[in-house]
Amino acid sequence: MKIILVGSGTSQGVPNIGCKCETCLSDNPKDKRLRASAYVETGGLKILIDTSIDFRQQMLRANISDLDAVLFTHHHVDHILGMDDLRQINQRHRKYIDIYGNKLTLDEIKISFRYALDEELKSYWAVPLVNFHYTENKAFKIRGIEVLPVEVYHGKIKIYGYRIGNLAYITDASKIPDREMEKLEGLDVLILNALRRAPHPTHFNLEQATEIALRLKARKTYFTHITHDMMHDKINSELPENIELGYDGLTIEI
Cα–Cα separations (whole angstroms), residue 20 to 15, 33, 99, 146: 9, 15, 38, 44
Return mean pLDDT, the chain: 98
Nearest to 83 by CA among 71, 42, 134: 71
Domains, the chain, ranges and CATH?
Answer: 2-253 (3.60.15.10)
Segment 118-145 mean pLDDT: 97
pLDDT, tens digit (0-9, with 9 covering 90-100), for 233-248 = 999 999 999 999 999 9
Per-residue pLDDT at 137:
98
Segment 26-45 mean pLDDT: 98
Q: How many residues does the chain have?
A: 254
Task: Residue 133: count other Cβ atoms within 10 Å of its Cβ.
Answer: 15
| pTM of model > 0.85 | yes
Ramachandran assignment for 229, one of left (phi > 0), alpha (psi -120 to 50 degrees), beta (any other): alpha
User: What is residue 163's three-state secondary structure?
Assistant: strand
pLDDT band with cut points at 50, 70 and 90 for residue 6: very high
